[in-house]
Amino acid sequence: MATGILTIDLDALVRNWKALDRASGAGVETAAVVKADGYGLGAVQVARALARAGARRFFVAVAEEGAALRDALGRGPEICVFSGHMAGDTDMIGDLDLIPMLNSIDQLTRHFEALPGHGFGIQLDTGMNRLGMEPAEWAAVAEIALAAEPRLIMSHLACADEPDHAMNARQLDLFRAMTDGAGVPRSLSATGGILLGADYHFDITRPGVGLYGGLPFDDAAPVAHLSLPVIQTRALEPGETAGYGCTWTAETPATIATVAAGYADGLIRAMGNRGHLFHEGTPCAIVGRVSMDLITVDITHLPAPPRALDILCPDQTVDDLANDAGTIGYEILTSLGARYQRRYTGGMA
């Protein structure tokens, strides 16, 4: 087999959700964000495992993701759509009982006219300037919107992964000013906001990356393990080079393994000459550039050529790998390619 094996530990995923549920505190509902195909790990499998564990509310980015999730979960759980009620979404939202998080007066008008009486939520902008109604917009429609009994009012923190950033407190104060007395369940916190403490939790938290083993949840259990098969090994003499552009040169006799994965599989090109793969806990340096389908790795120090090398494993988290690539764990997870053979373990917790 010349494709990598991506193993997703659903028991670890559930442990992470339960840990963030405890951190959210008594009386707070903990939802789950499963957008971008469950952060690249399979939204259907992820959501089913979390539903069995007790999650009853899920968030997706767009209505099409919500439709796939409804097909997998049935009619029980609530599925909220961050992008709101876009033109062309009406049938999906109505037929599949999706809850659009309305982001503008235009969306509010569209939803009330197209699906009167259908559930909805409100998204407010408290300073991120990405999605949601700004204070003046909300003030203009709050009375009408609240009379229709929204399921939820939410906003999103811009700097929650930096606990001491002044923006956190500014957004918290503005969210309270815009929503106090509304009589509607409120949500402000994703993973980082949960870790900021109870002041940020309100009625519903909605962890995302922390479920999948990523920062800023330091205590997260690793969920993804990625093993890459070795296609070929070769001996290099001093002065020989590896890969495109001859960016790495052997200074001593070296043994190089070529593994089956590359930037087409979500392994960022910037890891060339910086990142590592592992064999039974021993790091092996990436040498030369990461190419589309192949990576060359220095295994000179191993006692024998391995059949495979690990790139996501207990020795290297998604955030460790992201540091070598000059990016963030989110990008690593959501870029994991379709060519990997995905295997799921656990999930019956």
pLDDT of 67 reads: 97
What does DSSP say about strands 5-9 and 224-236: parallel, antiparallel, or unpaired?
A: antiparallel
The residues, any chain, with a CB within 8 Å of residue 76's CB and separated by 6 or more, are: 51, 56
Spatial distance between the Cα atoms of 340 and 9, rounded to a whole number of angstroms: 15
Q: What's the Cα-to-Cα distance from 312 to each of 5, 226, 255, 329, rounded to whole Å?
A: 11, 5, 22, 11
Q: What are phi and psi of 53, to 5 degrees?
A: -80, -15
Residues 6+ apart with CB under 8 A from 42: 8, 342, 344
pLDDT of residue 93: 98
Q: What is the pLDDT of residues 207-224, one digit of tens each?
A: 999 999 999 999 999 999
Domains (ranges, CATH) in the chain? 10-212 (3.20.20.10), 224-345 (2.40.37.10)
In this prediction, residue 2 carries a pLDDT of 72
Residues 6 or more apart in contact with residue 312 via CB below 8 angstroms: 6, 222, 224, 225, 226, 318, 321
- Give the containing element (helix H, strand E) for 22: helix 10-24
Regions of the chain where pLDDT drops below 50? 349
The angle, 0 to 180 degrees and rounded to 10, between the axes of the packed helices 10-24 and 43-53 is: 50
Dihedral sign from CA coordinates of 166, 124, 210, 212:
negative
* pTM passes above 0.85: yes
Active centre residues (catalytic): 35, 244
- pLDDT at position 349 is 41
> Which string of DSSP letters, residue by residue, matches 255-279?
EEEEEE--GGGT--GGGTTT-EEEE
Instruction: Give strand pairing partners of 309.
Output: 228
